[in-house]
Copies of this chain bind each other. A is one copy, B any other.
Amino acid sequence: MAKEKKAPRPKAVTPKGFRDYFGQDVSDRAEMLRKIAGVYHAYGFDALESSAVETVEALGKFLPDVDRPNEGVFAWQESEEDGKGDWLALRYDLTAPLARVYAQHRNELPTPYRRYAMGPVWRNEKPGPGRYRQFYQCDADTVGAASVAADAEICAMLADCLEEVGIARGDYLIRVNNRKVLNGVLECMGLAEDEERSAAVMRTIDKFDKVGEAGVRELLGKGRLDASGAYIDGVGLSEAQAEPVIAFLTSKGAGNGETLANLRAAVGESKVGAEGVAELEEIAALLEAQGYGPDRIVIDPSVVRGLGYYTGPVYEAELTFEILDEKGRKRQFGSVAGGGRYDDLVKRFTGQAVPATGVSVGVDRLLAALREKGRIETREVGPVVVTVMDRDRMADYQAMVGELRRAGIRAEVYLGNPKNFGNQLKYADKRQSPVAVIEGEDEKARGVVQIKDLILGAQIAESATLEEWKERPSQFEVPRADLVAKVREILDGQGA
């Protein structure tokens, strides 16, 4: 008789572009987010946790392709008997859901509505090295406040957040720019009505970070041979025509006062430009009055990221200390948070424009920065492991971990097969345990326990001479009653 065909075993893999987070990676992020939430809360921001799933219609941004409206998002159609179920999707950021929530609940919510949100978002993009399709965001936004005092507040709060999680003053800089100033510059150039060339100028400005002033000059003019050898067509402006853009991008002076004067010159007669400069002036004045000087938050027109998206002030937090990149070259750590004013998101739903401004913190990058600065313990410390020498005395071993835990010490009993003692020590090693506790028949009879300092033991095993080994024992016999005190002493010695 033919053997029944077995179903093949499923593969144990995360889907492409997704990953799992283990142990300290999870706890460290939770702790960092808790600190940030504390600052947001102190500023009067309320938590919001919207559903991870939204209707594709509410998410917007993505053109509803009739067949499969999921470009960039993970989407699916609800199954309804008539085959006409709603298309649902996972949220791709925390701002689109905020707009939906505010539009839906605006009668119950206070105005202005200050809210913070933290959680995963999903992008249906091609995964690459270090690029995942699920990642954390941590946002704070103020909806319904037209005053740039709201923008200034978010910049100040961002500085407080960075310091609260462990970035020292001097190691970060928040740079502020304003889209309206750029609009003024375009107006000056006579491009305000020329949507096509305005957009081309905007795209060029976005490259300022990469190609610098000379590169932008070329790209605004005839074009440029890029590093790959390809020729990039220019916008086709004359040198004189391009000048206001260059003046704008390079207007940063020695202080905010000088920068603002340069900007005022760059926008000439433009009304919207003057409005933008006045807004920056107000932001700078508010912040300086509260003690956030240009060493922490500074007007800087070379911040161009997001200028295409936002409608007023934009801000970006950079970490200014140097790290080594993958090729061993020194470079600045760079951006960890950014945001700005966007006034049209709620209008999609209600027809009424609602002013809004907000910031998004790059959770993974900020966590990486804290590790880099040694603000987070990178060596994971596991629990104290109580080994099992006699499986009938499990209750005794459980009593030990109970005592340790009551003293605030993380501890566990070995729960695998205790037969092979070597496996128990290997386990303790894999757990990165600082201390192992041993109580065999002999110790029990004599009322003592053996306590092994596993960190010191590993150091000695690696490098010590026989003399050193004799002088610095890594295993101690103490009365059973002294278990907790001795473990505490060893942990303190390890700096744990």
Contacts and interface: CB of A to CB of B under 8 A. Distances in A.
Contact of A398 (B70, B90, B289, B410): B289
A385 B37 CA distance: 19
B21 A149 contact: no
Interface stretch (A195-203, A230-238, A344-352): A344-352
B415 A112 contact: yes
A17 B152 CA distance: 38
A75 B76 contact: yes
A290 interface: yes
Contacts of A11: 55, 57-58, 349
Contacts of A44: 382-383, 385, 410-412, 431
B52 A52 contact: yes
Give the secondary structure class of A's interface.
mixed
Given A10-B57, A42-B405, A74 B101 contact: no
A86 interface: yes
Copies in the complex: 2
Interface string A289-305: 11100000000000000
Interface residues of A, number: 104
Among A13, A19, A150, the one with the most B-chain Cβ atoms within 10 Å of its Cβ is: A13
A478 interface: no
Contacts of A391: 147
A111 interface: yes
Interface of A: 9-16, 18-27, 30, 34, 37, 41-44, 46-55, 57-58, 60, 68, 70, 74-76, 78-79, 86, 88, 90, 100-101, 103-105, 109-112, 114, 120, 122, 133-134, 142, 144-147, 149-150, 152-153, 156, 285-286, 289-291, 348-351, 382-383, 385, 391, 394-395, 398-399, 401-402, 405, 408, 410-417, 427, 430-431
